[in-house]
Structures are given as C-alpha cells and as structure tokens.
Chain A
Amino acid sequence: MIKKVWKSLLVIFVLLFLYLPILVLMVYSFTDAANIGAIRGFSLHNYVTLFTTPELVQMILGTVILALASALLATILGTLGAIGAFYSKKTIASAVTTMNQVPVVNADVVTGFSICILLVVVFGVSKDTFIPLVIGHVTLCAPFVFLSVIPKLKQMDSSIYEAALDLGATPFTALIRIVIPQIFPGIVSGFALAVTLSLDDYFVATYTKPATFDTISTYVVNATKGAQTTIKTALWALSTVIFLLVVLFTVVMNLRAERDNQERSGV
C-alpha cells in the first residue's frame, strides 16, 4: 500500500515538473499582470493583443503555412522514397536508409548551418526566396516520413500489387489504388510528425529564413530577450492556446482510437 503511494507520488512529481510552468502561465495569461507572482485582476487583453496585432497574426499564420507546405512536400518525397528503396536492390536500399539517417541523428544546428552554406554561400540563393527555408524544413521532416512508411511496407502483402499488374493495371494505377491505401496510416502519421517537427524547429529556420520572416520559435526566442511587456504576455496567451489545442487534439484522437477498438471487438 505504502509502495503504491510512493509510486503515485513519483509519477505526480514528474508530471508537475512538466506541467506546472505551462499551467501557471495559463492562469497568468488571463490576468493583466506583467510578471508571474503578481496578483492582478482577470483580463482578456493578452488574447486581444494576440489576435489583433498584425505582427503576431502574420507570424503565427506564416509558421502554420510553412509547416503544412513543407510537411506536404516531405510526405510526398519521403513516401515515394520509402516505396522505391523498399523494392530496390539491397545495396541501393541500404545506401538510401543510411543517407536518410543523417538528418535524423545529426544536430539540427549542423543540418541548418550546412544547408545555409550550400544554398546561400555556395549557390548564392537569396534567403528572401524562402527556397532555403522550405528545403531546410523538408530535409528535416522527410526522413521521419520515410521511417514511418517503411514498417507499413513491410506489413503489406506485395502479391496484391503484382496481381493488379497481371490483371492489366498500369504501375501508376496499382500505386494509387493498391500500395497507397495499404500504407496510408504510415503516411498520415509521417505527415503529422513532419508538421510537429516543422512547427517546433528553431535551428534550421534561424540559418535559412528571410530576415523579415519569423516562425513562432524564432519570434519567441527573440521576444524573450526583448523588454516589450505587451508582446511577452501576449505570448503567454499563445502558449495557452497551443496547449489547449494539443489537449483537444489528443482527446479527440484517443476517443477515435477507442471507438475503433470497440467496433473491431464488436465484429
């Protein structure tokens, strides 16, 4: 019994370590206090600032658009790459897998810096074109799509694809109607992973982004160094909004998974 209490206390302690800062910030985002610890009245002004300051709105929209665009590109490239590598000769497959592993284990600082050197310093591509930024984010995300599609290819029954070809389907039709539907869960989780990676990235963006463009990460990092209180507390509101969105998303996903499980056990 006492052992159980200790165990629960330990889990609760680590959970508090992870969540207390976010929750305290959440409470303070609804006040007009400029610092944690001050006791002030209820106010929504942080949320008003967050959604009416053009600079903040543009920064948030820019981050989301960048994440969706680079995740989409990364998903297409990574999925096709995984299919190609999986059905290639062993030497080619292992070469692709090794190259794919480089951005995964490499430090993001090195990935970002090396892409900046290649594209901006050697090839003279202007950062203002967004090309280095998008390429950087695709490089960051595509390997993870590759890694989440490969297990689904291993599970797939490839005789169905061959049967489709024998029955006269073109490789393109077989790809769209046989392969893609079977590995679809892997593609979706790869895409989701790519979006979160891009949203969370700081280093690749710092080294490749146009000077006038900011993602949430680069913006927040600069803002914490500045002394502008209205912006600082508006970011508390942003933190709260993102936290609530993540909670909502998690709950919905869990409920759906549970419903699927019940349906399956019902059959």
Chain B
Amino acid sequence: MYRHLFSRKNLGIPYMLFLALFVMAPLFVLFYYAFTNGEGEFTMLNLTGFFSDPNTLGTLFYSFGIASVTTIVCLLMAYPVAYILATSKLRAKSVILMLFVMPMWINFSLRITALKEILTWIEGSLAYHPFLNTVLGMSYDFLPFMILPIYTTISKLDGALLEAARDLGAGNVQAFLKITLPLSMPGILSGVSMVFLPAMTNYVVLDMLYNSTYIMGSLIGSYFAAYNWHGGSMIALILLGIVCLFTLLTRGIEEENTRGGMLL
C-alpha cells in the first residue's frame, strides 16, 4: 500500500481536496446565503430586492457601460500595437513587447496612484470627469492584458495565407479584413474577457481615483462593510452568473470560429 502512496495518480488528491474545500464549498455556501435571510429561512427577497431596487439596477447598467467602453478603448489601443509589433521585423521587437508586459508586474495600486497624481495635476480635480477618469484608470490598469494575447495570435498567423490572398489579387485592406482580423479573433476574445470582467468588478480603481464606487464589485464591498452576508452573497452570485454567461459566450464564438476554420 505504502508503495502506491506516491504513485502519480495519488499525487493529485491533496489538490483535489483543496479545490473541493476552498473553491467549490465557498460557492455552495454563497448559494445558501444568497437564498436565506438572517434567521436561516429560505427567501427570494435578496434576489427580487436586487432587481427591484433602482440603485442596484443602475449600478449594474453603469458597470456594464464602464466595462464596455473600457474594453473598446483597450482594444483600439492594443490591436494596432500588437499588430505592428507582431508584423515588424525589428530586432528590438522582443524588448518593446517586454515594455508592454512589464507594467503587469508593478503593483497596480502604486500604478493607479501614479495615474491619479498625473490626472489631478492635469485636470485640477478628478471629480469633473468621473466617467472619463474611470475609463482611463481601468484602461491604464488592464491594457497589458489585452496586448499580450492579441500579439501571440497574430505572430502565430500563417504568413502563407496572406501571400496567397495577395497572389489572388486582394489589396492590403482586403487581406487584413479577410485573413488577419478573423484569424486574430481568439486573441481578441481572450483579451476581451481579461479586460471586461475585471472592469465590471474591480471597484478599487474607482475607489482610489475619487473615493466613489458605482460598479458591481463595490456592492459586495458595501454589504461586507455592513456585515450583511446574505445581500453580499446575492451580489456575488449574480456576478458569478455574469462571469459564467460571458465565458460561455466567448467560448461559443471561439468554437464557431475554429469550426469555420475547419470548413476552409
């Protein structure tokens, strides 16, 4: 028996237990708390309360807006940069790519502090442009996560396809729209999911920029501060639902894409 203790299969047992205890169990507890009240009785009030309160609904829509705009801004900055770097023949290419990745390793709170100081200097007070500053802060924080996956997919792209397109008479624009852009979709999608979801929940960026928090994540924070575990659990559950939905959606598109690729 002892001989098999360290067999390869058994090595995974501690991690499986860990996942069951600290990843799955918390989710079940979250579920339980979301549908009970302080006396431990079953209730739907937390759920109906969320969808009937204009404040929480407003927060949901506002965070959707913030996250969408942030994602678009990041994409508009990241795609050209990733494309230029991936297609350039510069020798210093890897160094420049490194420069785009490096901010990921610097503590985000310190980077946001730096941004806050600069913006305060430029704008006088951050309170004048709350939406702009939120989007700027989020984009500043998440941009590297958008550049890297797009760069990876574009640089793996088969150059022969582009040559074939040109041989068959496609112009630069047409070749880009028909070949490069569709084939870089997987990178775009993984970049989008790495920016959109955090932008909906990462309330600390707003909190730091001007002490106000109106996105989904901050609702959890306020329930937590008020020791309202039931309300907080419901928000967490709703966020979890959004995460699941979003993951399924992006994965669905990705699969469709690979299927389309196979048809070719």
Contacts and interface: CB of A to CB of B under 8 A. Distances in A.
Per CB-CB distance, the 10 closest pairs between chain A and chain B, nearest first, are A84-B12, A81-B15, A114-B26, A21-B114, A220-B109, A107-B201, A239-B110, A172-B6, A87-B8, A25-B114
Contacts of A254: 94-95, 98
Interface residues of A, number: 84
Contacts of B23: 99, 102-103, 139
B148 to A, nearest CB: 13
A203 B236 CA distance: 13
Contact of A107 (B111, B116, B217): B217
B25 interface: yes
Interface stretch (A39-47, A48-56, A117-125): A117-125
B90 to A, nearest CB: 10
B170 interface: no
A18 B103 contact: yes
Contacts of A24: 114, 117-118
A194 interface: no
Contacts of B27: 102, 114
22 contacts: A11-B85, A11-B96, A14-B81, A18-B144, A36-B117, A37-B121, A77-B14, A81-B12, A85-B15, A88-B9, A107-B200, A109-B201, A109-B239, A111-B26, A117-B229, A117-B232, A121-B229, A139-B23, A171-B7, A202-B204, A217-B107, A236-B113
For the residues of B in contact with A, the DSSP-based class is helix
A221 interface: yes
Contact of B15 (A37, A96, A238): A96
Given A24-B117, A171-B3, A254-B95, A7 B30 contact: no
A109 B217 contact: yes
Nearest to A218: B109
Contacts of B217: 107, 109, 203
A21 B33 CA distance: 43
Contacts of A121: 33, 229
Interface string A209-239: 0000000110011001100000000011011
Interface string B87-119: 010000011101110111111111111111110
Given A113-B224, A221-B208, A10 B106 contact: no
A180 B74 CA distance: 39
A110 interface: yes
A146 B243 CA distance: 21
Interface in A138-191: 138-139, 142, 146, 161, 170-172, 175, 179
A20 interface: yes
B247 A202 contact: no
B84 A7 contact: yes
A100 interface: yes
Given A18-B144, A99-B23, A105-B243, A216 B113 contact: no
A69 interface: no
Contacts of A107: 197-198, 200-202, 217, 239-240, 243
A175 B220 contact: no
B110 A242 contact: yes
Interface in B158-173: none
Contacts of B111: 21-22, 239
B114 A83 contact: no
A256 B217 CA distance: 41
Nearest to A217: B109
A216 B107 contact: yes
Interface string A1-25: 0000001001100110111111011
A175 to B, nearest CB: 6
Interface in B9-31: 9-16, 18-20, 22-27, 29-30
A200 B47 CA distance: 32
A217 B208 CA distance: 11
A65 interface: no
Contact of B81 (A10, A115, A118, A199): A10
Given A81-B18, A250-B102, 10 more contacts: A14-B100, A14-B143, A24-B118, A108-B202, A113-B236, A171-B5, A206-B221, A220-B113, A235-B110, A239-B110
Contact of B22 (A22, A115, A242): A115
Contact of B4 (A171, A221, A236): A171
